[in-house]
Amino acid sequence: MVVLSQPALEPFSLIKTCKPVAFFSTIPVVDLTDPHAKTLIVKACEEFGFFKLVSHGVPLEFMTKLEALATNFFNLPQPEKDKIGPPDPFGYGNKKIGPNGDVGWVEYLLLNTNPQIAFQKTFSIFQENQQNFRYAVEDYILSVKRMTFEVLELIADGLGIESRNVFSRMLRNDKSDSCFRLNHYPPCPELQALSGRNLIGFGEHTDPQIISVLRSNNTNGLQICLKDGTWVSVPPDQTSFFFNVGDALQVMTNGRFKSVKHRVLADPLKSRISMIFFGGPPLGEKIAPLTSLIAEREESLYREFTWSEYKRSAYKSRLADYRLGLFEKT
């Protein structure tokens, strides 16, 4: 990874670049209607912290409609979009990610999905002429949440945990601190022509929450890091969802599941649009390894913390930091 310095590449100079990497050919694909789904999901979460879900039950129409309305939004004149930024962290953001100096070739809308918060801030984001956009976001989130509850219940089942809702209850709770992100990665043809490299849209990081659910259009860009440190590119599939294990799930499984390091490169020629639901617990929820998942002769690897504590600490960090380090038992 290098930082560009030639004058011709000046506009991109703060944003890092990267050479393309090989495609991930053995990506775990799980069919939600498969009777073995729970075993396959657990295996994928242990091995990669990542899997693709098909036959998921979310109507394709919800995805394509939201994609079209998000595209319209990102096509608005810059001053219109800037009216609902800078993000605090919710709202419209452009190139700046988080509060600590991270940048990427991306513009985005970050929304809270908790009705108690969302209905104050999100309402002002969706002004009168954006009503359809708001409804499309709501339909999409409702349907994606339903699928995510099911996946989390399969995970609990697959792990042999007695109460199936041990994870899903945290998202089902109406105080759940979940959020939703729409990302637009504009193409970068000049850079590709000049350097043969891609701009980094969203730098490497793990997601702090329990689980993240991503859907994108058919443009390349998402890469995940395998256990041996190799980065692989995930072939896009606009009809499916990609699930990422987040830090909180890594803790609750006492490290049996790994929160997957991932990043996104901008495509040289095509816009990439992605929509991600981040399933988080309520702010006061205590996060700690589940006793039933601490194997015999094994110890708890993390100290207990509240989600609010973890979030506060995450917002003091840089994107690529190893955030769980502060919560590991020594």
Q: Which residues bind ligand GA4 (CB under 6 A)?
A: 89, 97-98, 100, 102, 110, 179, 181, 205, 207-208, 278, 314-315, 317, 319
Q: In this complex, which beta carbon is closest to ligand GA4, that of residue 9 or of residue 314?
A: 314
Least Cβ distance, residue 131 to ligand GA4 (angstroms): 25
Q: In this complex, which beta carbon is closest to ligand GA4, that of residue 207 or of residue 267?
A: 207
Q: In this complex, which beta carbon is closest to ligand GA4, that of residue 20 or of residue 89?
A: 89
Q: SS3 letters for the chain?
A: CECCCCHHHHHHCCCCEECCCCECCCCCEEECCCCCHHHHHHHHHHHCCEEEEECCCCCHHHHHHHHHHHHHHHCCCHHHHHCCCCCCCCEEEEEEECCCCEEEEEEEEEEECCHHHHHHHHHHHCCHHHHHHHHHHHHHHHHHHHHHHHHHHHHHHHCCCCCCCCCHHHHHCCCECCEEEEEEECCCHHHHHHHCCEEEEEEEECCCCCEEEEEECCCCCEEEECCCCCEEECCCCCCCEEEEECHHHHHHCCCCCCCCCEEEECCCCCCEEEEEEEECCECCCEECCCHHHCCCCCCCCECCEEHHHHHHHHCCCCCCCCHHHHHECC
Q: In this complex, which beta carbon is closest to ligand GA4, that of residue 102 or of residue 139?
A: 102
Q: Which of 272, 303, 312, 318 is catalytic?
A: 272
∠ CA 16-184-45, rounded to 5°: 80
Reply yes or no on whether 164 is catalytic.
no
Structure tokens at 254: 């006492």
Least Cβ distance, residue 242 to ligand GA4 (angstroms): 14
Least Cβ distance, residue 111 to ligand GA4 (angstroms): 10
* Residue nearest ligand GA4 by beta-carbon distance: 98
Structure tokens at 197: 């490299």
Q: In this complex, which beta carbon is closest to ligand GA4, that of residue 197 or of residue 323?
A: 323
Least Cβ distance, residue 207 to ligand GA4 (angstroms): 4
Least Cβ distance, residue 277 to ligand GA4 (angstroms): 11
Q: In this complex, which beta carbon is closest to ligand GA4, that of residue 315 or of residue 322?
A: 315
Q: Which residue has the tokens 């759940």?
A: 176
Q: Mark residue 190 as left, alpha or beta (left: phi above 0; alpha: psi -120 to 50; beta: remaining).
A: alpha
Least Cβ distance, residue 208 to ligand GA4 (angstroms): 5
| Rounded Cα distance, 299 and 14, in Å | 43
Least Cβ distance, residue 309 to ligand GA4 (angstroms): 14
Q: In this complex, which beta carbon is closest to ligand GA4, that of residue 153 or of residue 207?
A: 207
| Rounded Cα distance, 25 and 33, in Å | 23
**Which sequence positions are flagged as catalytic?**
272
